[in-house]
C-alpha cells in the first residue's frame, strides 16, 4: 500500500500548500491520536510536541495541539528543540509519541511534521499507513468530558543539555579546546553552546540568532564550503556545523571539512581499537566507496541501506549493529541515542580526539575519499524518472564505462521533488561530465 502523505522523514512541503496547512495538521493529529489510543489498553495517551525556529512553527504547533486535544490526547509542549531532543524527551517522559515540526535542512518557507514512537524511534511504516487511513474519516471531535489537556515541560532544553553531556565519557572533559559551533539559526541555537561550554570547552557560536526566516540561510551543515575559513578566523581548533533541527553534523578543522562518512569511520575504528563489541557499520547507497573499503580493511562488515536515516536504522537493527550513518551527517549511535543526533555524534568524535590526543586530520590521514559528483535536478511535475527509457539507457552506458573503477547512482529525494544524480570515480572531471550528461535528460520544473 503506497503512502499519500508520509515520505522518508514524515510529512513535508511548502507552507500554506497541502499538506503543510493548519487544516491538514489538525486532521493529522486527530487521526494519529485515534490510532495511538487504539494501541493502549486504557486509552490514556500523551504526546510531546516541539518545533524548530521557522515562523510557521507557531501555526502548525497550534493546529497539532488542537487536533490531539480534540481526539482526547494530552499534549506536552517543549517549544523550540532539536529533533533528537524530542526522541529523548518522549522516552524520558514516558509518553506515547513525539512530534517534531521541522523541515530539517530546508529553507524557512518549507516545513514538516514527523513522529517518534514511545521508544524514541521513527514510527513504523505500518503505523504511518494506519494514520493515513484514519484521516479518511475526516474531522471527529470527542465529547467535552473526554478532551485532552495541555501543559508545557519546564526546562525542556536544560534536560536535553544534561542528556547530551551524559553521552560524553565521565572521566573526560573539553578543557583547553576551542570549538566553533554553527547552529544554523535552528533548533539548537540555545542548546549547542551550553553543551560544549559546560563540558569545559571555549565556544564561539554563530548561527544562533534565529528570527523565524533565517534558518539554514547560508549557515549550518548544508553550507560548509567556508567552514574551515570560519574556524580559522575564530581562532578555533575544531568546527561543528549542525542543520536546522540538529540531527545532522559536519565537522571541520582549519583546512578541511569532514562529512558524516568520515566521522562514522573515526568512531568505528576507535571502538575497534578499544576492544569494544563491534561487528560492522551501516552506510547508505551514497556512502563514499573509500569509506567502505577502509571499514572492511580494519576487519568490519559494511552494509549499505537506502538513503534516509530510517532505513539506516532498519538495517542496523536487522544486523544487530550500533553504528550507522550518512555522508550528510545523520549518524546513529544506538548505545547513546535512538536516532540521529548532531550534538551527541559530535561528542563521540571529540571523545576520540581527546582519548587519542590526535586531530581529525591525524585520525583520517589514511582515508583518501573517492571523488563524488552530485547533481540535484528539480523535476517537472508528473515526470517518472524510473520509467524514463532514455535515462535508463544512458545510466547503463555510464555504469558500463565506469565498471571496476566507479559507479553511478540515480535516485529520487524522499523529502523534495528532486532527482539526485551521483557519479563516483577517481577522475573527477570524468565524473562531472557523466553526471551533467545524465542530468540533462531529466526535464526541469519551470
User: CA 87, CA 183: separation in Å to the nearest integer?
Assistant: 19
User: CA 322, CA 314: separation in Å to the nearest integer?
Assistant: 11
Residue 137 host element (H or E): none
Residue 256 host element (H or E): none
User: CA 244, CA 103: separation in Å to the nearest integer?
Assistant: 8
Paired sense of beta strands 46-51 and 97-101, if any: parallel
- Three cell numbers written together for 116: 517518534
- CA geometry: angle at 374 spanning 240 and 433, to 5°? 140
Phi/psi of residue 16, nearest 5 degrees: 95, -15
Q: List beta partners, residue 281.
A: 302
Closest C-alpha to 284, from 250, 248, 240, 328: 328
DSSP 3-state of 299: coil
User: CA 134, CA 160: separation in Å to the nearest integer?
Assistant: 33
Q: State yes or no: is 117 an active-site residue.
A: no
Q: Given the C-alpha cell 575564530, which residue does it identify?
A: 234
Out of 56, 102, 104, 118, pick the active-site residue.
Answer: 104
Note whether 386 and 308 are within 8 A (CB).
Answer: no
Q: In what order do the strands lie in the sheet with 418-425?
A: 372-378, 418-425, 406-412
Phi/psi of residue 66, nearest 5 degrees: -60, -40
User: CA 410, CA 408: separation in Å to the nearest integer?
Assistant: 7
Paired sense of beta strands 150-152 and 74-80, if any: parallel
CA dist 83 → 80, 90, 177, 197, 429 (Å) = 9, 11, 27, 21, 38
DSSP 3-state of 65: helix
DSSP 3-state of 303: strand
User: CA 395, CA 33: separation in Å to the nearest integer?
Assistant: 45
Paired sense of beta strands 238-242 and 257-258, if any: unpaired
Distance of CA 40 to the CA centre of its chain: 29
Q: Given the C-alpha cell 575497534, which residue does it identify?
A: 272
Q: Which residues are catalytic?
A: 104
Amino acid at each position: 500500500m503506497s503512502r499519500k502523505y508520509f515520505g522518508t522523514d514524515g510529512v513535508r512541503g511548502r507552507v500554506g500548500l497541502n499538506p503543510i496547512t493548519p487544516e491538514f495538521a489538525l486532521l493529522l493529529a486527530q487521526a494519529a491520536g485515534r490510532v495511538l489510543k487504539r494501541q493502549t489498553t486504557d486509552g490514556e495517551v500523551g504526546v510531546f510536541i516541539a518545533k524548530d525556529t521557522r515562523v510557521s512553527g507557531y501555526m502548525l504547533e497550534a493546529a497539532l495541539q488542537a487536533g490531539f486535544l480534540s481526539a482526547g490526547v494530552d499534549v506536552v509542549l517543549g517549544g523550540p528543540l532539536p529533533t533528537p531532543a524530542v526522541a529523548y524527551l518522549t522516552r524520558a517522559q514516558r509518553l506515547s509519541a513525539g512530534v517534531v515540526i521541522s523541515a530539517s535542512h530546508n529553507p524557512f518557507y518549507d516545513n514538516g511534521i514527523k513522529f517518534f514512537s514511545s521508544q524514541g524511534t521513527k514510527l513504523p511504516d505500518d503505523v504511518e499507513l494506519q494514520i493515513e487511513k484514519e484521516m479518511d474519516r475526516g474531522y471527529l471531535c470527542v465529547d467535552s468530558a473526554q478532551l485532552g489537556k495541555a501543559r508545557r515541560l519546564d526546562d525542556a532544553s536544560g534536560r536535553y543539555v544534561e542528556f547530551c553531556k551524559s553521552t560524553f565519557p565521565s572521566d573526560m572533559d573539553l578543557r583547553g579546546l576551542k570549538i566553533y559551533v554553527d547552529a544554523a539559526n535552528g533548533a539548537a541555537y540555545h542548546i549547542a553552546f551550553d553543551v560544549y561550554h559546560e563540558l569545559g570547552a571555549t565556544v564561539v557560536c554563530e548561527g544562533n540568532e534565529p528570527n523565524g526566516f533565517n534558518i539554514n540561510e547560508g549557515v549550518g551543515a548544508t553550507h560548509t564550503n567556508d567552514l574551515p575559513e570560519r574556524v580559522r578566523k575564530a581562532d578555533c581548533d575544531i568546527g561543528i556545523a549542525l542543520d536546522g533541527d540538529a540531527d545532522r553534523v559536519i565537522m571541520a578543522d582549519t583546512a578541511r571539512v569532514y562529512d558524516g562518512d568520515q566521522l562514522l569511520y573515526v568512531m568505528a575504528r576507535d571502538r575497534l581499537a578499544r576492544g569494544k563489541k563491534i561487528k560492522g557499520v551501516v552506510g547508505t547507497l551514497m556512502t563514499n566507496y573509500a569509506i567502505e573499503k577502509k571499514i572492511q580493511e580494519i576487519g568490519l562488515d559494511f552494509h549499505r541501506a537506502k538513503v534516509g536515516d530510517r532505513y539506516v536504522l532498519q538495517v542496523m537493527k536487522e544486523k544487530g549493529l550500533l553504528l550507522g550513518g550518512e555522508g550528510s551527517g545523520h549518524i546513529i549511535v544506538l548505545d547513546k541515542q535512538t536516532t540521529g543526533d548532531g550534538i551527541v555524534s559530535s561528542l563521540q568524535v571529540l571523545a576520540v580526539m581527546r582519548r587519542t590526543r590526535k586531530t581529525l586530520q591525524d585520525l583520517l590521514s589514511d582515508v583518501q575519499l573517492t571523488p563524488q559528483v552530485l547533481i540535484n535536478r528539480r523535476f517537472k511535475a508528473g515526470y517518472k524518472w524510473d520509467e524514463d527509457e532514455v535515462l535508463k539507457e544512458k545510466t547503463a552506458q555510464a555504469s558500463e564505462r565506469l565498471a571496476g573503477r566507479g559507479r553511478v547512482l540515480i535516485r529520487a529525494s524522499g523529502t523534495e521533488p528532486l532527482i539526485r544524480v551521483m557519479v563516483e570515480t577517481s577522475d573527477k572531471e570524468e565524473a562531472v561530465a557523466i553526471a551533467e550528461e545524465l542530468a540533462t535528460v531529466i526535464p526541469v520544473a519551470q
